[in-house]
Amino acid sequence: MMPRLVPFLLLVLVPIGAWAAWLGWDQHQDVHPDGSVSGPYEAWQVIGLVLTLLAPVYWAASRNRVAAAVLGTTAGLAAAAWYDWSDDASGLFVIGVGTVMVGSLVATSLAAALVASLARRGGRATPRPTGV
């Protein structure tokens, strides 16, 4: 039981650490000269987070741990978002956390399914023609 739980726990902890590294330090919105507000995150930070999380998802899915890849990553991102955003007094952070959950569930499901499928086929993206 314990060896099957380890990949899941790792895949919960890695997104939490990645969130802290990429997004956790940036907590202030940027006010532009025209008065518009953006942030607190820049696009490069979110892209960095996503690219960082591809490695553990690939690792788990290529070892036929698709459920751990999907559920662990989703749980880790949701926990990190909840912790980071829960100081919002309006309570609307729950909608953001739900969006993170749904988005990460869909994205990691697609990525893990693709990796697992390629791993089952021996890593080839296209089958070799027979007789060549």
Question: What's the pLDDT tens digit per position in 82-110?
Answer: 999 998 888 899 999 999 999 999 999 99
**Residue 93 tokens, joined:** 């952070």
3 state DSSP class of 89? coil
Instruction: Find the largest Cα–Cα distance for the chain.
Output: 67
Question: Assign residue 129 a region: left if phi > 0, alpha if psi is -120 to 50, beta otherwise?
Answer: beta
Residue 66 CB coordination number (10 Å): 21
In which residue are the tokens 């086929």 written? 121
The chain-wide mean pLDDT, for the chain, equals 87
